[in-house]
Amino acid sequence: MAFRNLSSRDRDGVRTLTIERPDKLNALNRETIGELAIAFTQARHDDAVRAVVLAGSGEKAFVAGADIAELTAMSPVQAQAFSRAGQQMMRGIETLGKPVVARIQGFALGGGLELAMSCHLRIGSEKAKLGLPEITLGLLPGFAGTQRIARLAGRAAALELALLGKPVDAARAHALGLLTRVVAPEALDAEVEAVASQLAASAPHALAGILDAIVLGGEAAFEQGADYESKAFAVCFSTADMREGTAAFLERRKPVFTGA
């Protein structure tokens, strides 16, 4: 399927999806949200895809937020549908079963931060700015941002960012857990590529088990989460990758995981 607002590139098991709306600072409109939902569904079902990188075009922004011009024309019913569509798309990223890395080179504001938080790893430039400025528009986050930021950064930081609406720099975002790593702008692409390549070379069943245990199990009671982990651990023992990994360790060589 050809997308109007996205580009897709595959290399060595890594699919890079780039939002291509630089004139709008990659703002999320309904069409872009729909295309992202389709693109991640395709990635889910493509066994050749081991990891996904999500990026924004241009140097100014990952995603600067929702498309305000589109928001102003929405009725309350349309706004709720827009919110639900964004939430569903981002939940699809979070529960993809394959690791997703966000490449954040500039602004990740509002819906952009919400999108980044749905990714499993977030690597940012030192120039990145992250925030939830919806309050300055008389709004609040609508893509489950209030829920994810509280889980990632804690209640106090969530209230500060959402109530005051002031963005934080990359160093503060890293300290809060909103960025996984922070690197110099000129090192961003190399760092993202290195992390994504490492993920793509890992055992897919083990990766999926880790994601399920942390993302889904982490939302449950401790005993249920531990059960997620135990079952995922057991599944790995039915895979050729587990036998390859343990054999490679004993033979002191690098394992080659095939996904079998």
Q: Sign of the CA dihedral 146, 150, 156, 161?
A: negative
First to last CA, the chain: 28
Q: In this structure, what token pair is assigned to residue 39?
A: 């693109």
Q: In this structure, what token pair is assigned to residue 96?
A: 């993809």
Q: In this structure, what token pair is assigned to residue 4?
A: 């109007």
Burial of 123 per CB tally in 10 Å (0-12, 13-18, 19+): buried
Residues designated as active site: 114, 134
Helix (H) or strand (E) holding 32: helix 30-45
